[in-house]
Each structure stands twice: as C-alpha cells, then as structure tokens.
Amino acid sequence: MAKRGAEDGRKVVAQNRRARHDYDIVDRIEAGIALTGSEVKSLRAGRCTLADAHAEPREGEVWLDNVTIPIYEPAGRFNHEPKRRRRLLLHKKEINRLMGAVQRDGMTVVVLSIYFNAGGRAKVELALAKGRKAHDRRQAIKDREWKRTQQRLMSAKR
C-alpha cells in the first residue's frame, strides 16, 4: 500500500499521530506557512517536531504554536528561533470558519502534518477537531482492533 499523499506529489516532513488518537477529526484544511529561509532548509532536511502543536486564531489571523523546527547550522548568524510563532496563510473565509468553530462549537485547531506539495511549497494540514474522553479513546482502540481481526479472518477464508 502506498503512503498517503504519495500519489499527489507530497513529501511529508512530520506527522502528528497523537492528534488522531486524542481527537475526533471533523474537517481538514490545507494552509500555507510563512517561513524564513533557514526554516525551509531545516524542513527540507526532514527535521521538525509537532508534539503538542496547535493553531490559534488571533486578531483576524491564524498562528501556529509549539512547532519546533531546529536551527539549520550552515545558516550561521542568519538562523531562526526554533520555537517561534509562525503565521499561517489562509483565505479570510477559511479564517472566519475556523474562528467560528473554535468560539461557537468549542473545537480545537490541530496540526496533522507538515509537508512539501508537488510545487515545492511548505504546507500545513490542519484539522478542526473535538477532544476525546478517555473512554472514547478506549472504544476507538477496540473498534480498530476488531476491524483488523475481521480483515484477518476474511483473508484467511480465501
């Protein structure tokens, strides 16, 4: 089975697998990200951490918080701060939709992955998500294991 995104020319740099475990994903959104040159170089080298990453609508813009892009050593004094807040590039309609869902419905904007698209641009996959309770997480694990067992039984019959 091919990796998700391989068919559309994506080069995934980092994924937030924990987000799929902790949240029920309602909607996905692709956003551009405003980066400096040394950040792009570091991402192209495959170095990024999305632990506890989230996006926050603030003052009519959406900002990316808690994403660690390590410094790029050859950049020298032109390097960036590894944990700085980064602006996401979204249309005004998308920003309003995100802000409305966060304020009205109590949802969270979670970062699922950072990747380079077919054109070589750095993109962020965001998700509007609702937090899961501990019993919901356990039930999701049980359902996933049951589906795997079903697949094994069906493939054994053939």
Of 157 and 2, which is predicted with more confidence? 157
Of 7 and 58, which is predicted with more confidence? 58
**What pTM, to 2 d.p., does this model score?**
0.75
Overall size of the chain counted in residues = 158
pLDDT above 70: residue 132: yes
SS3 141: helix
pLDDT digits (tens, 9 = 90+) for 4-56: 545 577 889 989 888 887 888 888 999 999 888 888 888 888 888 888 888 88
pLDDT above 70: residue 63: yes
Residue 25's nearest CA partner among 105, 130, 142, 98 is: 130
Share of the chain above pLDDT 90, in %: 17
- Quick one: average pLDDT of 98-118? 87
pLDDT above 60: residue 2: no
Residue 147, judged by CB atoms within 10 A of its CB (0-12, 13-18, 19+), counts as exposed
Write down the CATH superfamily of domain 6-132.
Small protein B (2.40.280.10)
SS3 51: coil
Domain ranges for the chain, please list them: 6-132
Q: How far apart, in whole angstroms, are the C-alpha atoms of residue 141 and residue 152? A: 17
Give 100's DSSP letter: H
Q: What is the pLDDT of residue 31?
A: 93
pLDDT digits (tens, 9 = 90+) for 69-91: 888 778 777 777 778 888 999 99
Confidence of residue 1 (pLDDT cuts 50, 70, 90): very low
Phi, psi of 51 (to 5 degrees): -60, 125
Indicate the average pLDDT of the chain. 84
